[in-house]
Amino acid sequence: MSTGFFDGIEKIKYEGAQSTNPMAFHHYNPDEIVMGKRMEEHLRFAVAWWHSFAWEGGDPFGGQTFVRPWYPQDDMERAKLKADVAFEMFDILGAPYFCWHDADIRPEQGSFAGNLATLNEITDYIGEKMEAGGPDLLWGTANMFSHRRYMSGASTNPDPDVFAFAAATVKSCMDATHKLGGQNYVLWGGREGYETLLNTDLGAELDHMGRFLNMVVDYKHKIGFKGAILVEPKPQEPSKHQYDYDAATCIGFLRKYGLENEVKLNLEQGHAILAGHSFEHEIATAVAEGMLGSIDMNRNDYQSGWDTDQFPNNTPEVALAYYHILKSGGFTTGGTNFDAKVRRQSIDAADLVAAHVGGMDICARGLKAAAEMIEDGGLESALSERYDGWNSDSAKTMLGSDLGAITQRVLDESINPEPRSGRQEILENYVNRFV
């Protein structure tokens, strides 16, 4: 039964690149075969419950701009209406997956027991909708950053009672994710960091976070959860400095605490930019270490210094991201979650749908461009040529040698290399042929 929120908006169909219909897919054709697989299976799109349905349109300088029939989000009846609206939009978009935080789908009760009861009630309700033909759950997670109890962190909090509350909350969210057949469980440490080192025992906090994550992994195996455990890097905001700064930092952390074979990364475009990286850099770093799990697709405003979570609209950026994903073999349990929100002036239901339509189209264009580059082989050929010297017997021998032997060889062979061009402009021109 329709909620009436999307009145007048029909199911989105693929109409092709020549269509001028703003409520149609121009590039995303779920059944199109790309590199031997349906486009839908490559991209594995998910809608984020928090930005699409729980966010009220506020920013650091002003409050709510959206007027929704499920506001205020403080009781179960409105939580169920919000779920009805969410599943209606999933159907309109043909989205195969969705994602949530516990605080997005249930009202805050002020106690763990109350939150647990409402979480169980709403996930039972969501489960019924999934069984009736709704999309699957890509991942669930716990919001351990919004409530004031987490102002000094969750697993890194100096108060052990907050650690305990956070641990119980994660257990409840893992149980709910498992119950709904979720394919991953994500931890984002929005307050796992510090504002000042004057009141922070950094070593103790890192050890507590490492122990917390080991508990999560242990519980995953205890309940038989087959999905992946993922952590999400971000360098700052809301904390001045967050411990999960970027992909490389997270990988070092996981190795330090013996989790490198148990936990992978959920990478976000906007977070990569805040860390001073490109999205493809973060993806390539995770791929190189075998730790790519899933991605949050969005973009930042390059003229702003904060995480604006806008829908993607830059095909070249997206193409290079999917290039590295496809090169790694593509997603397994992960996918493309739109951790993106419409602008606070975009107050209509049509804006919400159109934003996802455009984002899905951009990702489809990027995926196809990435596949064409891989099939053409130009970048791989250039890379192979640049590193070809390392295939020689002398180079392989050198890696097993020592500084003294290498020095003697340089003297004996009068080695005095001339630099060779990196051909960056030629390769950038190459990429532009596809995007």
Distance between CA atoms of residues 401 and 291, nearest Å:
30
Per-residue pLDDT of the chain (435 residues; tens, 9 = 90+): 689 999 999 999 999 999 999 999 999 999 999 999 999 999 999 999 999 999 999 998 999 999 999 999 999 999 999 999 999 999 999 999 999 999 999 999 999 999 999 999 999 999 999 999 999 999 999 999 999 999 999 999 999 999 999 999 999 999 999 999 999 999 999 999 999 999 999 999 999 999 999 999 999 999 999 999 999 999 999 999 999 999 999 999 999 999 999 999 999 999 999 999 999 999 999 999 999 999 999 999 988 888 999 999 999 999 999 999 999 999 999 999 999 999 999 999 999 999 999 999 999 999 999 999 999 999 999 999 999 999 999 999 999 999 999 999 999 999 999 999 999 999 999 999 999
Single-letter residue type at 212: F
Which are the catalytic amino acids? 101, 104
- Predicted pLDDT at 1: 66
pTM over 0.95: yes
* Helix (H) and strand (E) counts in the chain: 16, 12
**DSSP 3-state assignment of 326?**
helix
* Helices (H), ranges, 377-416: 378-386, 393-399, 403-412
